Amino acid sequence: MLVSIDPSTPRVGIVVTDSYPLEDLDHDTAPLVDALRARGVDARAAVWHDESLDWARFDLLVLRSPWDYPERVEEFMAWLERAEAATRVLNEPALVRWNLDKRYLAQLEREGVAVVPTTYRTVVDDVAAELRAFADAHVVLKPAVSAGARDTGLFRADDPAALELAARIVDAGGTVMVQPEIPELSAGREKALYVIDGELTHAIAKGALLAPGGGLLGGTYEEHPELVAVTDDEEAFAHAVVAAVGRATGLEAPLYARVDVVDSAAYGLVLLEAELFEPALNLHVAPHVTHLVAAAVARRLEVAATRVG
Ligand SMILES: Nc1ncnc2c1ncn2[C@@H]1O[C@H](COP(=O)(O)OP(=O)(O)O)[C@@H](O)[C@H]1O
Ligand SMILES: [Mg+2]
């Protein structure tokens, strides 16, 4: 049967990519598209580097899983500019650009958020000096622009492999983030807290990812998300992070945010990252959240329609 689409039906593009590693599939887009369609929204997945798409035909683009962007950052930034010139994009591209480089953590710290202790180094010798100060403690090194634990390594500070990773990041033009190992993270106690349009909707634990000595446990990136309960402190922390993002950027409240935290013996409850443009929402383990996300998108569409009208 052919369904004719009313021209006033809002069109939403859920921005994705076209290939995912088997261990890291996009579990969110299909249910979200269905939930939006059930609300009368003409929703579809749209691959960000699909040259055949006319972005102006969408009333709203919701960034979801453009997960190949770290390998093609410049291309992604150029696309983002084109997309925002053509239509409304959420989260806001200005927020995306701010969120792309984890040096935002230092800004959030200045806004009063407790963050995993981090230094940012652009010179390998500075990393070497810092690692010497760590002696035989364990450290984590990662690039400021990364996702999916790419080029992220857990080492004893005197392991030459740590400096090799630092050199690789610097050679690629990146900034090296140096952090003490948070043992609770290595024990798989990272929690991702989801704030959808200002409401804490769900949380997942992801399990440990880094193998000591560099690389990933099991050799591949696998999150093993599990739905977990949220304490009052964690909920307050998540809202405080979103508020601090607002103060640091001066931008509108995000449609969605994933606030990754760990409750550590050494530092208390601390922020690992605030993911504002491509978090896996893990709707497959929290199906009840799907309609909350769809409702939030629908509300943003109404705002967009009022602005135009
Ligand atoms: N300081 C740390 N101590 C122990 N493990 C860490 C530390 N930083 C990161 N990790 C591990 O590496 C993973 C990826 O690091 P993260 O900072 O979340 O970057 P991204 O998810 O953007 O790649 C985390 O989910 C966590 O398992
Ligand atoms: Mg992470």
- The tens digit of pLDDT for each residue in 89-135 reads 999 999 999 999 999 999 999 999 999 999 999 999 999 999 999 99
The answer to whether 296 touches 203, Cβ cutoff 8 Å, is no
Say if residue 222's pLDDT is above 90: no
CA dist 141 and 175 (Å) reads: 10
Whether 189 and 266 map to the same domain: the answer is yes
| 48 found inside a domain | yes
Report how far ligand 2's centroid is from the alpha carbon of 86 (Å): 30
Say if residue 309's pLDDT is above 50: no
Instruction: Give me the percent of the chain exceeding a pLDDT of 70.
Output: 95
The reported pLDDT for the residue numbered 287 is 97
Whether 123 and 55 map to the same domain: the answer is no
| 3 found inside a domain | no
| 201 found inside a domain | yes
234 compared with 70, residue with greater pLDDT: 234
The arithmetic mean of pLDDT across residues 260-265, rounded, is 98
Per-residue pLDDT band for 308 (boundaries 50, 70, 90) equals low
Domain span at residue 72 reads: 11-91+284-308
Q: How many structural domains compose the chain? A: 3
CA of 272, closest atom in ligand 1? 17
The reported pLDDT for the residue numbered 138 is 98
Q: Using CA positions, which residue lies closest to atom 16 of ligand 1?
A: 149
Q: Using CA positions, which residue lies closest to atom 6 of ligand 1?
A: 185
CA of 138, closest atom in ligand 1? 3
| 5 found inside a domain | no
| 27 found inside a domain | yes
Neighbours of 119 (CB within 10 A): 13
Whether 158 and 46 map to the same domain: the answer is no
Report how far ligand 2's centroid is from the alpha carbon of 102 (Å): 11
Whether 109 and 230 map to the same domain: the answer is yes
| Average per-residue pLDDT for the chain | 94
- Tens of pLDDT, residues 66-100: 999 888 889 999 999 999 999 999 999 999 999 99
The reported pLDDT for the residue numbered 306 is 67
Whether 295 and 214 map to the same domain: the answer is no
Residue of 102, 181, 185 with the most ligand 1 atoms within 8 Å of its CB, for mutation: 185
The reported pLDDT for the residue numbered 6 is 66
The answer to whether 137 touches 168, Cβ cutoff 8 Å, is no
| 98 found inside a domain | no
Cβ neighbours of residue 301 under 8 Å, at least 6 residues apart? 10, 12, 41, 59, 60
The reported pLDDT for the residue numbered 1 is 44
CA dist 239 and 151 (Å) reads: 30
The reported pLDDT for the residue numbered 5 is 59
Say if residue 147's pLDDT is above 80: no
Report how far ligand 1's centroid is from the alpha carbon of 236 (Å): 22
Based on the number of CB atoms within 10 Å of its own CB, is 72 exposed (0-12), middle (13-18) or buried (19 or more)?
Answer: middle
Report how far ligand 1's centroid is from the alpha carbon of 33 (Å): 30
| 4 found inside a domain | no
Whether 72 and 137 map to the same domain: the answer is no
Q: Using CA positions, which residue lies closest to atom 22 of ligand 1?
A: 147
The arithmetic mean of pLDDT across residues 133-138, rounded, is 97
Report how far ligand 1's centroid is from the alpha carbon of 215 (Å): 12
CA dist 76 and 69 (Å) reads: 6
| 34 found inside a domain | yes
Residue of 103, 210, 258, 262 with the most ligand 1 atoms within 8 Å of its CB, for mutation: 210
Whether 23 and 39 map to the same domain: the answer is yes
Nearest ligand, CA 210: 1
Say if residue 3's pLDDT is above 60: no
The answer to whether 112 touches 244, Cβ cutoff 8 Å, is yes
Residues within 6 Å of ligand 1 by CB? 116, 140, 142, 146-149, 152, 154, 179, 181-182, 185-186, 190, 208-210, 260, 272-273
Q: Using CA positions, which residue lies closest to atom 1 of ligand 1?
A: 181
Say what the pTM is. Answer: 0.94
Whether 128 and 110 map to the same domain: the answer is no
The reported pLDDT for the residue numbered 21 is 80
End residue of a domain, out of 157, 180, 203: 180
- Tens of pLDDT, residues 153-201: 999 999 999 999 999 999 999 999 999 999 999 999 999 999 999 999 9
CA dist 49 and 58 (Å) reads: 15
Whether 60 and 145 map to the same domain: the answer is no
Whether 40 and 161 map to the same domain: the answer is no
Whether 16 and 133 map to the same domain: the answer is no
Which of 53-57, 236-240, 257-261, 302-306 is the least confident region? 302-306
Whether 52 and 170 map to the same domain: the answer is no
Q: What is the CATH number of the domain that holds 44?
A: 3.40.50
Nearest ligand, CA 134: 1
Q: What is the CATH number of the domain that holds 265?
A: 3.30.470.20
